[in-house]
């Protein structure tokens, strides 16, 4: 960064003057974090229990549709604008092509309707990908050991339509197939759903930090191999710009960079280059790491949570998808 002026030298310049009191620190803060910056991811399930703990994510529960509706009411009361839904469906519903992903009476449509009944003013975003519904745990259709792109697009468009038709405000493709934003946008337009947002996981990396999530949604036990033929290589940054440009040209309204803290450079690059609403996802592994440190007394949650979320705002994110959302919103309140 080049300076537009030569700063004064010590002792005239004393940067500590602007840090000397809480009021002046507040006055000169370059970024703010409020509950309106947060999206709360909810893991929902079709099992008999109302709430089922997720071992690798202390404090996170798989919720029944009824409990998801209660969480949405809580989100609304905390000033959180949106929840994001991720499903754990019974293994008996899973097959090679993820048929259950586009069941109009499936778990996600049920949850959308329950949430919209209980808290209509809350935004609902859904994950568009097949991994939670396939018996092989991949986000696309598997043929002869390969994830096939174009046949997957039809499945994703159908899934997105079912979500939007059930009342989802935003669909968020997280599968990383080529051309999926266009396929989804066309399906929505063709069905009179032109107001549904597409918030695209445009830059999503093949990451070890998704581990606890795959336990939460029940895809880790079946996942064969890795997702490196469709999710991005963590060695790359320039490629994120091409992915984002493509998704915007296909009709995405907003973007997600995922994971979060290890990819702050990408959040910065994307938000500064495109100036389109960009969200960061503080993913399950980041959450689990921090919870493990809190449980051991190695980090102070009250300080570390807000600091980590603030980092995303500083990097240029419009907001953050975080499992800490309700806890953080309560700390702000």
Q: Is 174 in the site for ligand PBG (CB under 6 A)?
A: yes
CA atoms within 13 A on the CB side of 82: 21
Closer CB to ligand PBG, 161 or 287, in the complex = 287
Residue 213 touching ligand PBG (CB under 6 A)? yes
Instruction: Mark whether 227 is an active-site residue.
Output: no
Nearest-angstrom CA–CA distance, 272 and 18? 27
Residue closer to ligand PBG (CB basis): 158 or 273: 158
Distance of CA 145 to the CA centre of its chain: 28
Of 184-192, 207-215, 237-245, 300-308, which segment contacts ligand PBG by CB under 6 A? 207-215
30 is in an annotated binding site: no
- Return the closest-CA partner of residue 256 out of 3, 64, 41: 41
Q: Is 273 exposed, middle or buried (0-12, 13-18, 19+ CB in 10 A)?
A: middle
Regarding 131 and contact with ligand PBG (CB under 6 A), the answer is: yes
Interface residue with ligand PBG among 283, 311, 315, 328 (CB under 6 A) is 283
SS3 109: helix
Let me know how long the chain is.
333
Of 65 and 212, nearer to ligand PBG (C-beta) is 212
With binding defined as CB under 6 A, does residue 161 bind ligand PBG? no
Nearest to 319 by CA among 36, 83, 118: 36
DSSP secondary structure of 260-314: SGGGHHHHHHHHHHH-S-EEEEE-HHHHHHHHHHHHTTSS-HHHHHHHHHHHHHH
Least gap, CB of 75 to ligand PBG (angstroms): 17
Residue 284 as a binder of ligand PBG (CB under 6 A): the answer is yes
127 binds ligand PBG (CB under 6 A): yes
Q: Catalytic annotation on 258?
A: yes
The residues of the shown chain that bind ligand PBG, judged by CB under 6 A, are 86, 127, 129, 131, 139, 174-175, 210, 213-214, 227, 283-284
Residues annotated within the binding site are: 243
Q: Which residues are catalytic?
A: 204, 258
């Amino acid at each position: 960064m080049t300076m537009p002026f030569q700063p004064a030298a010590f002792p005239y310049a004393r940067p500590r003057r602007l840090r000397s009191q809480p009021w002046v620190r507040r006055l000169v803060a370059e970024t703010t974090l409020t509950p309106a910056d947060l999206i709360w991811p909810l893991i929902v399930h079709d099992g008999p229990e109302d709430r089922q703990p997720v071992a690798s994510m202390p404090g996170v529960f798989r919720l029944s549709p009824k409990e998801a509706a209660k969480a949405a009411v809580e989100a609304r009361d905390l000033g959180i604008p949106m929840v994001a839904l991720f499903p754990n469906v019974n293994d008996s519903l899973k097959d090679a092509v993820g048929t259950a992903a586009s069941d109009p009476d499936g778990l996600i449509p049920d949850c959308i309707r329950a949430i919209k009944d209980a808290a209509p003013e809350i935004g609902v975003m859904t994950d568009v990908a097949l991994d939670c519904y396939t018996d092989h745990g991949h986000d696309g259709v598997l043929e002869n050991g390969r994830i096939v792109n174009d046949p997957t697009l039809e499945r994703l468009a159908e899934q997105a339509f079912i979500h939007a038709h059930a009342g989802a405000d935003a669909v968020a493709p997280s599968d990383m197939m080529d051309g999926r934003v266009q396929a989804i946008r066309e399906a929505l337009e063709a069905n009179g759903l032109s107001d549904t947002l597409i918030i695209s996981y445009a830059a999503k990396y093949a990451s070890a930090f998704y581990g606890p999530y795959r336990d939460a949604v029940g895809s880790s036990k079946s996942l064969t191999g890795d997702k490196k033929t469709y999710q991005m290589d963590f060695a790359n940054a320039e490629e994120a710009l091409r992915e984002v440009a493509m998704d915007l040209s296909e009709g995405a309204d907003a973007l997600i960079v995922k994971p979060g803290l290890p990819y702050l450079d990408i959040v910065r690059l994307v938000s500064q280059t495109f100036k389109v609403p960009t969200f960061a996802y503080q993913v399950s592994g980041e959450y689990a790491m921090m919870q493990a440190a809190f449980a051991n007394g190695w980090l102070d949650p009250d300080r570390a949570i807000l600091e980590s979320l603030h980092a995303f705002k500083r990097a240029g994110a419009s907001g953050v998808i975080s499992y800490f959302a309700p806890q953080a919103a309560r700390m702000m309140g």
